[in-house]
Amino acid sequence: MAILFWLIILLVCIFAEIHTQAFVALFVGIGAVIAFFLALASVPFAVQTVVFLVVSGLTLASLRPAVVHKFRRSEVVDLSMPTSSSLTNLTGFVEDVVGDEGHPGRVKIKGESWKAVTEADAPIPSGTQVVVKKTYGTTLWVEQL
């Protein structure tokens, strides 16, 4: 019966980790695996439980920080600066004259209309083909082709 109990705990941990990716259930699952093998060796359930708690706690406290550091983005993204995106290097056409940041226009890319600005000295007239150089939120920085 204890073998089934630890298998259920292990399956719940696998399911929880897949859906949360919090790297907590992973280490509880490691404790359940150790307890499962103790159950196979007919170790008393009380000992299995203590080993489960100790192994889960120790692995959670000692390994989770390293795992979180490895798999989570630790770099800070500065959202105040224009960046590359999936729209970068795509081409489209100007719908409404595109000027500087004080005079944005609109461009059509892949059938969608986007707010756009340019760093060029002169505004880009309607109908001109442009390429996206960078983005800032939903505003595109474009250059004339």
Beta-carbon contacts of residue 135 (< 8 Å; ≥ 6 apart): 82, 83, 84, 85, 87, 88, 141
Q: Report CA 120 to chain centroid distance, whole Å.
A: 34
Q: Which regions in the chain score pLDDT beneath 50?
A: none
Q: Two tokens at 92?
A: 């489209």
For position 81, what pLDDT does the model report?
62
Beta-carbon contacts of residue 134 (< 8 Å; ≥ 6 apart): 82, 83, 84, 85, 88, 140, 141
pLDDT digits (tens, 9 = 90+) for 103-128: 999 999 999 999 999 999 999 999 99
- Overall pTM > 0.85: no
For position 82, what pLDDT does the model report?
61
Q: Decide: 17 and 68 in contact? Cβ < 8 Å.
A: no
Domain positions in the chain: 2-71, 91-144
For position 23, what pLDDT does the model report?
86
Q: Which helix (H) or strand (E) holds 96?
A: strand 91-96
CATH code assigned to 91-144: 2.40.50.140
Q: What is the largest CA-CA distance in the chain?
A: 81
